[in-house]
Structures are given as structure tokens and as C-alpha cells.
Amino acid sequence: MRHHGRATISYDGKRLSPKPGATLNLGGVSRTAEPLDDGSVGFSETTAAPELNCSVPLTAALDIESLRNMTGANVVFESDTGKGWVIRDAFTVDAVTVGADVNLKISGQPAVAL
């Protein structure tokens, strides 16, 4: 059985070349345990935003301005296992810092399987 090793990430049809270690929190429903005095445990639910974290090398071809200003994008995270998800209405969360690598944090609507 194949395990995840590499991710392919693209936004609005533009492919990024992430370094190993890219992660995707799918978002959706987050549950908080609520213990009760009678010994039972219930839960409450809130909506959790998805979060894609990746690092890409800074190259001449990397469009920093489009990443910096990204809003309303469709971001696709595909694993080499064949599984993939899309974050719609995606946007960059933090200001983009330029160095040898560019670290990106992206959020939007909860991720949906492809």
C-alpha cells in the first residue's frame, strides 16, 4: 500500500513546487469535549478553517506578487497516493516573507475531496 510522500500544489492552474513536508488541515467541523457532572461527555461543534502549509524555493519563475495578493483562488492539494482536495475561495493568511524559501499559509472554505 502506498503512503504519502510528495504533494503537488496548484492555485488557479499555476503549479507550485513545494519542498517535502507540505500539510493540509481539511477544516470543516471542530468538536470540543464537554464533560458533564454525571460522568458523561458531550461535545459542541464550531466551524474550523482549513490550513495548507508549505514551503517553496524562491526562484525567478515564482510569482511572489500573485501569492502575496491571493484571494478567491482555487487551491488544489494532491498527494502522490492519488488523493486530492480543493480549497475554494482560498487566500494567503500571513504576509509573505522572501528568503531562500517562501513559507505559505493558505486558508479558505473547508477542503473538499477531488
**What's the CATH number for 7-113?**
2.40.30
Write down the pTM of the prediction: 0.87
Query: CA-CA distance, 7 to 36, in Å (whole number)?
Result: 42
Tell me how far CA of residue 82 lies from CA of 4, 14, 33, in angstroms: 9, 19, 33
Per-residue pLDDT of the chain (114 residues; tens, 9 = 90+): 777 778 899 999 899 989 999 999 999 999 999 999 999 999 999 999 999 999 999 999 999 999 999 999 999 999 988 899 999 999 999 989 889 999 999 999 999 999
Residues 6 or more apart whose Cβ sits within 8 Å of residue 2: 80, 81, 82
Helical H segments across 1-113, by residue range: 64-68
